[in-house]
Structure 1
Amino acid sequence: MYILVRDDLPLGFAMVAVAHASLAGYLRFQDTPEVKAWLAGPFFKTVCRVNAKEFENAKLVEDHVVLTESALDNCEVAIVFKPREEWPKMFRFLKLYKEMKEVPAAAV
């Protein structure tokens, strides 16, 4: 399962969007053979941070759910894709979502 989050979203909203996207993707596609295999198998979830152009291009890929955030005037904030065996080529070039700040040594 891929979850794409807009790169202009504050971290707190991004965290909520990813949680909602994971559940929304499962609920939308739970009865499909792909999700049943995913649940029984690897259960991987990949979260990527995307710009506006990448987000719009991703919406052209079938079997997805777009999430909006009411606190941001119903702005589209994330998109989740049904698990599948083969992913479109564009997914190989997306950047993983990583926090940019260093973690203080005391927190580790």
Structure 2
Amino acid sequence: MYILVRESVPVGFAVLSAAHASLAAYLRFADTPEVKEWLAGPFYKTVCRVSDAEFERAKEEPEHVVITESALDGQEVAIAFKPRAEYPKVFRFFTLYK
């Protein structure tokens, strides 16, 4: 599962939004074969920091959930993608969140 967090989000909200994004994506796609396979293993999650432009482009990819933060005036802060065998090539170039 890829989780993208806007780089402008403060660290405390970023951690919270990544957790919310993971759960929201699981709940949205729980009944799909891809999620059942993912839960059985490997259960990987990759969290990346992305620019506003990267975030907007990523929203064009299918099967995702967008997380907003009420404490930040409803700003979109994170996006999580349904687990899948292969992601678009551009995902490999996102910066890992450290």
Which blocks of at least 5 consecutive residues in structure 2 are unaligned?
none
* Counterpart-to-counterpart distance in 1, 2:60 and 2:88: 11
1:57-76 matches, within 5 Å, as 57-76=57-76
Q: Structure 1 residue 86: deviation in Å?
A: 1.0
Q: Normalization by structure 2: what TM-score? A: 0.99
TM superposition outliers: structure 1 runs of 4+ over 2 Å: none
1:9 aligns with 2:19: no
Aligned to 1:89: 89
Identity across matched positions, percent: 70
Query: Could you report, residue by residue, the CA deviation over 1:42-99 in whole angstroms, capped at 9, with x for unpaired residues?
Result: 000000000000000000000000000000110000000000011101101101001x
* Counterpart-to-counterpart distance in 1, 2:66 and 2:13: 15
Aligned length: 98
* Counterpart-to-counterpart distance in 2, 1:19 and 1:43: 14
Which blocks of at least 5 consecutive residues in structure 1 are unaligned?
99-108
* Counterpart-to-counterpart distance in 1, 2:20 and 2:85: 23
In structure 1, give the amino acid aligned to 2:79: I
Aligned to 2:80: 80
Q: Normalization by structure 1: what TM-score? A: 0.90
Alpha-carbon RMSD:
0.4
| Structure with bigger gyration radius | 1
Query: Relative contact order (alpha carbons < 8 A, sep ≥ 6): 1 or 2 greater?
Result: 2
Aligned to 1:42: 42
Query: Could you report, residue by residue, the CA deviation over 1:6-29 in whole angstroms, capped at 9, with x for unpaired residues?
Result: 000100000110110010010000
